[in-house]
Amino acid sequence: MDKEQLVESARMIKKNAYVPYSKFPVGAALLLKDGSVINGVNVENVSFGATNCAERTAIFTAIANGYKKGDFQAIAVSGDTVDYLPPCSICRQVLVEFCSPSMPVYLTNEKKEILELTLKDLLPYAFTELDM
């Protein structure tokens, strides 16, 4: 699967987001090393701290389906934003837990442009098990 297909998967899934409060749907598409794609959406809650982001939904779903740390190849994030939509800091830290620092991260915007970064670009001073 190429990056355009992965980004399109993230764009398409965001229609399933549960966003009654913010009205800000986000979709994520997580590419696994076996070629599978697991999608995620943001799921809000009236208690905002209980809200889950699209990126974490995808990662947690992958883990629930038996995938392990190191099985992740790339992630695309899509929202209807003027600028590129990056993962929040909590999602970045979760990505660091399960993914390689060199893993591609594809960010999109409402113009359907794609910005390709690595996880290390997003979180250059990540807290890792080496810090324990």
Q: What pLDDT was estimated at residue 127?
A: 86
91 is annotated as contributing to ligand binding: yes
Mean pLDDT of the 76-104 span: 96
Q: What pLDDT was estimated at residue 128?
A: 81
The two structure tokens encoding residue 14: 């965001």
99 is annotated as contributing to ligand binding: no
Domains assigned to the chain: 3-131 (3.40.140.10)
Look at residue 105 and tell me whether its pLDDT is greater than 80: yes
What is the enclosing helix (H) or strand (E) of 56?
A: helix 54-64
Q: What pLDDT was estimated at residue 3?
A: 96
Q: What pLDDT was estimated at residue 132?
A: 62
Catalytic residues: 55
54-64 and 89-98 are packed helices; what angle lies between their axes, rounded to 10 degrees? 30
Q: What is the pLDDT of residues 19-63, one digit of tens each?
A: 999 999 999 999 999 999 999 999 999 998 899 999 999 999 999
d(CA 120, CA 47): 31
d(CA 50, CA 99): 24
Look at residue 129 and tell me whether its pLDDT is greater than 90: no
Look at residue 131 and tell me whether its pLDDT is greater than 90: no
DSSP 12-39: HHGGG-B-TTT---EEEEEEETTS-EEE
